[in-house]
Structure formats: structure tokens, C-alpha cells
């Protein structure tokens, strides 16, 4: 067996089980069974149950960040970048439902996770958004009074809530593309009609 093959199997199994049951309701024995290894084997690769969770987050978030950054690198227009980010985020959630559920739940799960662990990967991901905003402000496409630190959270939150909805509901009313376009349009142009805009 290839080095790390078993480790990978355990991580995949954990994602499945954590997504299905939640971290606290998941049993090490269940992960072991799902991974096809013995309970004890897990402790050869991970320090404890919580360590598996952290590892999933670190590893997968790293991959996601890589992917999103490289995809966005080829786009110049900040507007397109934002819309693309929205599409990528929702697509990734769609393609990795289990992982998405784990990250979503555990991201809030324990204060411990968020407070102690001072989530660098998460910050890096969200900072892609503020980077886009700053770029757009520099090129005069985005308003100067937009505070990137607020925007990044608002934009991420919007996408994240949409994702949660999709994870919970088996069938979607809207396509990913539609949702991504709608959400970016909210943030880019707002929801006012032209008349309303002029009158304000």
C-alpha cells in the first residue's frame, strides 16, 4: 500500500461520517469501518478525533484556495472576478457536499475551533474577496467608500448561507449559475431600480 494511502482513506471516511452525523455524533469506530481499517490504526495517523477534523479543514481548504486563486488569476475585470468567485464557491460546494457540510458545521461548531485555532486558512480564503475589492478600487471600478473588511464577510456570508440552503435541501430551485449571477449582481449593482437610484 502506498504511503499515505491509508491516511487518505481515513480522511475521506471521516468527511463522509462527519457530514452525516456531525463531529460529536460521529464515532471513531464508524470512521474506521468506513475507511476499512481498524480503530487503532487511525491513531497511527492522527493524534485524536479532533485532529482529524483540523486536518480535513487545513488540507481541503488549502486545495480549494489553490484552485480558486489559480482560476481567478486568468481574469482581469474585478467584476468578472467577483462573479467567478461566487460561481466557483457554489460549484465547489455542489461537487463536495460532504466536505462542504463538514466545513460549514465545524466552522461554527465549537467556539474552540474558531477561537483557539485562529483559522488562518479560512482567513486566506475570505481575503481573496477583499483582494478583489481592493483591486477594483485601485482600478476605479469599485467605490472607494466600500470597506473591504466588511465586504469580504458580507459576500462570503451570502454565498455561505446559500450553500447551507443547498446542502440541506435535496433539490435546488435555481441553477448554480443563476444563483452566482444573482448574488454577484446584488453586490455589484444593488437591487434598486434606476428610478429609485436617481431619486435617492
132 near 184, Cβ under 8 Å? Answer: no
* Spatial CA neighbour of 53 closest among 11, 81, 94: 11
- Rounded to a whole number of angstroms, the minimum distance from the CB of residue 152 to a second copy is 9
Q: Which is nearer to DNA, 2 or 173 (CB)?
A: 2
In angstroms, rounded to a whole number, what is the distance separating the alpha carbons of residues 164 and 175?
A: 15
Verify binding: residue 1, DNA, rule CB under 7 A: yes
C-alpha cell belonging to residue 117: 485555532
In angstroms, rounded to a whole number, what is the distance separating the alpha carbons of residues 86 and 83?
A: 5
Residue 165's binding partner among a second copy, DNA, none (Cβ under 5 to 8 angstroms by kind) is: a second copy
Residues found near a second copy in the complex (CB under 8 A): 19-22, 24-25, 79, 101, 104-105, 107-112, 114-115, 133, 136, 140-143, 146-147, 149-151, 153-162, 164-165, 168, 173-174, 178-179, 182-183, 185-193, 195-197, 200
The interface with DNA within residues 30-89 (CB under 7 A) comprises 37-44, 48-50
C-alpha cell belonging to residue 172: 435546488
In angstroms, rounded to a whole number, what is the distance separating the alpha carbons of residues 167 and 103?
A: 12
C-alpha cell belonging to residue 52: 482529524
State which of residues 15, 16, 18, 26 lies at the interface with DNA (CB under 7 A): 26
How does DSSP classify residue 96?
A: T
Residue 109's binding partner among a second copy, DNA, none (Cβ under 5 to 8 angstroms by kind) is: a second copy
Verify binding: residue 27, DNA, rule CB under 7 A: yes
Locus of grid cell 461566487? 86
- Rounded to a whole number of angstroms, the minimum distance from the CB of residue 19 to DNA is 15
Amino acid at each position: 500500500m502506498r504511503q499515505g494511502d491509508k491516511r487518505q482513506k481515513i480522511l475521506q471516511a471521516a468527511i463522509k461520517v462527519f457530514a452525516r452525523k456531525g463531529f460529536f455524533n460521529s464515532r471513531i469506530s464508524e470512521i474506521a469501518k468506513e475507511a476499512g481499517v481498524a480503530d487503532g490504526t487511525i491513531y497511527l495517523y492522527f493524534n485524536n478525533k479532533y485532529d482529524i477534523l483540523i486536518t480535513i479543514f487545513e488540507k481541503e481548504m488549502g486545495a480549494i484556495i489553490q484552485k480558486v486563486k489559480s482560476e481567478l488569476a486568468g481574469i482581469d475585470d474585478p467584476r468578472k472576478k467577483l462573479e467567478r468567485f461566487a460561481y466557483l464557491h457554489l460549484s465547489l460546494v455542489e461537487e463536495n457536499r460532504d466536505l462542504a457540510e463538514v466545513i460549514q458545521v465545524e466552522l461554527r461548531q465549537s467556539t474552540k475551533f474558531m477561537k483557539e485555532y485562529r483559522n488562518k486558512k479560512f482567513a486566506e480564503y475570505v481575503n481573496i474577496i477583499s483582494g478583489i475589492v481592493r483591486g477594483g478600487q485601485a482600478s476605479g471600478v469599485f467605490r472607494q467608500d466600500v470597506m473591504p473588511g466588511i465586504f469580504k464577510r458580507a459576500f462570503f456570508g451570502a454565498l455561505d448561507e446559500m450553500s447551507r440552503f443547498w446542502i440541506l435541501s435535496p433539490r435546488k430551485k435555481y441553477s448554480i449559475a443563476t444563483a452566482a449571477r444573482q448574488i454577484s449582481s446584488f453586490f455589484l449593482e444593488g437591487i434598486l431600480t434606476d428610478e429609485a437610484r436617481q431619486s435617492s
